[in-house]
Amino acid sequence: MKNGVLPICKPEGISSARVVKFVKKFSCAKKAGHMGTLDPFATGLLLCGINKGTRISRFLLNSSKRYKAKICLGVETDTYDVTGTVLKKSDGLHNLSNDKIFETVNSFQGKQSQIPPAFSALKHKGKPLYEYARRGQSITKPARDIEIFEILIEKIEVPFVHIDVFCSKGTYIRTIAHDIGKKLGCGAHLASLIRTETSGFTLDKAVELDDLGKMEHSAIMDKIIPLADALSFLPSQSVDTKLENKIKFGQKIGLDDGLLPCDDFLRIITNTGELAAIVEYDKNHGDFKYSCVFLN
């Protein structure tokens, strides 16, 4: 059975967990799991780990992401998005100029602190924040450091503003929408969201979920990105059979084995191109620590 990552185009109105169930069923995988959830109303790129692919999720979750978002000005909701209850409406949109909107949106580029929304999956005492929020208990988590590498306005059709956002992990786009509305003084919420890139994967290479059930099993297997390729952003080094056997049995490996030190995680690739392990260099001891081993 193939191991790797299957990029899926998630449709609107379905949870990420539900997508994983479909993926597991149609791929006949023993294990499957998503790598970075999308809210049910959001669409776009959802990475699903297949079998041993579930073990590399932590390396993919830490990457930057790109989204296309539609912000609705003048309407504020409790969830900061289109699924929430309307809290306030503004009649002052006619006073907003395109220049003011451009200036405000552009001001969000760069490093900043962001307070996670009360309606989120972050945990408090073992329970998601949204469970407290639905009972009327608003739990405020500490602000987190994020970075907006790029934020571009694609189109303004008041009350809607269409933006493209390239951001660090942990960024809530609906919080950005809410904060833009707050800064403009009219309120706003996130009307729609599409994830277009994450971890080196792009939406144009993703499989439509509706098509998955119509595909032959072999065709689905062809769409699964092998482990070694899924982590192509990490440095790599190929090893011979002797070192491959040491890794297989969890033996100590170091510079004497011909491995080169690096500041990042290192992919160990077999002579057949498969991912043998992910290791991390320990400067203090001059050897490599195993993070994941994939050889049977």
256 counts as catalytic: no
Q: Radius of gyration of the chain from Cα atoms?
A: 22
Cα end-to-end span (Å), the chain: 13
3-state SS string for the chain: CCCEEEEEEECCCCCHHHHHHHHHHHHCCCCEEECCCCCCCCEEEEEEEEHHHHHHHHHHHCCCEEEEEEEEECEEECCCECCCCEEEECCCHHHCCHHHHHHHHHCCCEEEEECCCCCCCCEECCEEHHHHHHCCCCCCCCCEEEEEEEEEEEEEECCEEEEEEEECCCCCHHHHHHHHHHHHCCCEEEEEEEEEEECCEEHHHCEEHHHHCCCCHHHHHHHCEEHHHHCCCCCEEECCHHHHHHHHCCCCEEHHHCCCCCCCEEEEECCCCCEEEEEEEECCCCEEEEEEECCC
118 backbone φψ class: left, alpha, beta (φ>0; ψ -120 to 50): alpha
> Which amino acid does the sequence have at 133?
A
Q: Which residues are catalytic?
A: 39
